[in-house]
Structure 1
Amino acid sequence: MTLRRKHFAERRAARGYSQEEFAEALSVAASTVVRWESGRATPRPHQRSKMAELLGVTLPDLEALLSDEQPTEKVKLPATPPLLHGDDDDMKRREVLGLLAVTGALVALPDCGETVREWAVPTFPEAGDSLHRSLWRVYALSDSKQVVFPAVRAQLDVMAKALTEPRTAAERSRLCRMTADLYQLVGELFFDANRYTDAAQCYTLAANAAHAGGGYDLWACAMTRHAYVELYAHRAHAARPLLAAAFHIARRGDDVLSTRHWVAAVQAQTYAAMGDFDACNRALDEAEKVHALDGAHSHNGGWLRFDGSRLAEERGACYLQLGRPDLAEEALTTALAQPLSLRRRAAVLSDLAVLGVHRRDIDQVVHYAEQALGLADRSNSGFIGKKLDGLRGRLAPLMSDDRVSTLDHRIAALPRTA
């Protein structure tokens, strides 16, 4: 057995497959897998996409595993799948959902009438606010969003205990708002892992907790995130009433904050999905009014992060969906020239690749898709994978080109987190 084929066998075993199970998944005989791993046979091209998916590697990595040449350096394979994937992580997910149920019930319970003196209230809320802001910052800056999951799970446990302690009405309201804040972050983690139903549940609980705490802007943000789940699942008709409600709630919030402008930005995406160019433009113009606010105080960097910096990429995505590539290119190119997080850059690159498909410009498709795939390999983000899936669904007219065919296989082989 060559060294590379040894790595192939090790990778198969690490993914939990016996030779017989691996053969069954690929609809081949177990003896075929034995011959692959011994170097006496090589998988055929039509088998490799499914094989890469089972092994959790890209097609180029699979080619390296199957090569009979001695390697000059150790083959670099993706890390193990991120949190929220597999039996152990599924158990952790259920634990978090259980804590959501507990804290949600405690938020919904009427005040038992117990009070404490103001001077006796523990200082937990102040410390908790600071911690939550820190968690949001880590989430925003991390290439792999799941790194904050353990800390968020621990904080949910703390919140559940805090909600059972007697507090003044003002402190209980604040605690409810903090719970709503944390729920939204949990929802973002589930959303990044492509677990949309779990994310929607988190946002619903966040809206209820925000309402209980009297936080209108927090409430509107939770509704907007819930709408975005529907929008991302191609259910614009379901997103529209959620956003209408969020807009009315936001109007009762703080005029200094950018909440209502963020609602408008997501409404624009909904109108684009529905093919309404004029309504989309009106919503985008409303969102642009965020620039008239005091930038230092219009958002908190946590559950409300909208400052207008994303509008170029969002405008480009809307125009692309509306079938206006001429308008989309200018906006997307402007967005790409700005400092972007890994996820946002991958989204813009994917949209620019889609723009190349519209033009039948294979060089443009390959140029931008290759960059987006590199970012997907770095992050294991389900969000990026979903964006690239959207690109893949448009590649059919160009599949006669070998480069496009290779892109299709590489996107299909991306690890999926749900």
Structure 2
Amino acid sequence: MKRSVFTLLIGLLSWGFGAVSAQAHFLFIQVGPHAEAGRNVEVFFSERATAGDPLFVAKVAHTELWLQDEPGKFVPLTVNRGTDRLRAYLPSERSVSVVGRCEYGVLKREKPFLLRYYPKAVSGKPDEVAKLLRHEAIPLEIMPTLAKDSITLTVLRDGKPLANTVLTTIDSDLTNEELITDAGGRATWRLTESGQFAVYVKHVVPQAGAKAGENYDEIREFATLAFDWPLDNSRVDADAVAMFERAIAARAAWDNFKGFTAQTSVYLDGRRSEGVVAVKPDGEVSFDGKPVLEDEAAREWVRDQLHSLVIHRVPSSGIRSKSVLSFADKDAEHPLGRLLNFHGGRFASTYRIREDEIVVANRSLGRENMSLQMFESERNAENKVLPRAYQVQYRDAQTGAIIRVETFRNRWQRVGKLDLPESLAQTVSAAGGVSVRSLKLQSLKLAE
């Protein structure tokens, strides 16, 4: 039976929650995609698993969370308090279940009760999620089993199924449906559209007691389960692919690049050096001209920077495989641009695209997570994009702590039909201090 959120509010009011503003508030967990700071989970005290209510954050700030990405292995997460939500870094790129508990406190109604929440979220491949187990420290939990167009929900109380129990679903548009569990504690929810979904179940324990000096007559428990549907979002989204392809086509490229030579001046943490540099079409850099750039540290840094410039400007040879992307979320108004998931390859990658420009590139590199954010760009004579200023953050993949931050500033000069580097400056900030480096190129000559 489907109900509007208004009906849900009235129902909860009669159930004894007090003020209407808090009627439909539950504790939800949302597992985020790999983004600017790696992967995070967020906890909302709200009517659905999106924006939270700042009025209640202090009441749920003590919530505990556990990550499970291997069956039966539960890892506690460090929970941080935000303005309208709680947030925890998620040190995993695998299929996951995140479960939590929060004892809200005693509420005084006609019958005073102790309120407890047990939120949960799952994300990843359905067959892997199905192998994840219940947490023995969580007395009330919803276990999902996923099919192509439905999810079967099993309600467990202390590991035993709860029969004839009402599950209330929450769609993306806040429309609700009630499901009744069978003798095995199971109910099936058929899903026909994509989006963010959640479900909750309530259970009353007829047990009196006292908490923080306040007496209660019973314990009221809520368990929630939140997820994105379909769970495995590795499908191809034609609109996401088209957006990415437009951004790739908008970048300035060095077509028919045959290399160049130039006089270079290098500044490396207070040391200055000069010499001739030669760059080949494949990005190989040599220092055979006169005068010779003698500083070996400067040579190594210049070699890395110019090689990187070439591989990012020269179009890839051969036939590029079709991009496999999907939208990572539904936030089309994010200030940094729409978030896209790139599927395939060894490492998790996401991009943010704004006005046909790649503004953010995120990658999981094993022990580190990298996030590149474009601060400023320019358009060349062909109206193609050239980077002017950007920053790259590297974070520890297990803790989310920042390891180092690299800031770049590029300037370009037109040589023939190509925009070649005029100068490049890099500032590296890390635990050991700040390093400042730059190079300037003059008398550039394109190879014939």
TM-score by length of 2: 0.23
Give the number of the structure with larger relative contact order, counting CA–CA contacts within 8 Å between residues 6 or more apart. 1
The TM-score with structure 1 as length reference comes to 0.25
Q: Between Structure 1 and Structure 2, which shows a larger proportion of strand residues?
A: 2
Larger Rg: 2
Larger relative helix fraction: 1
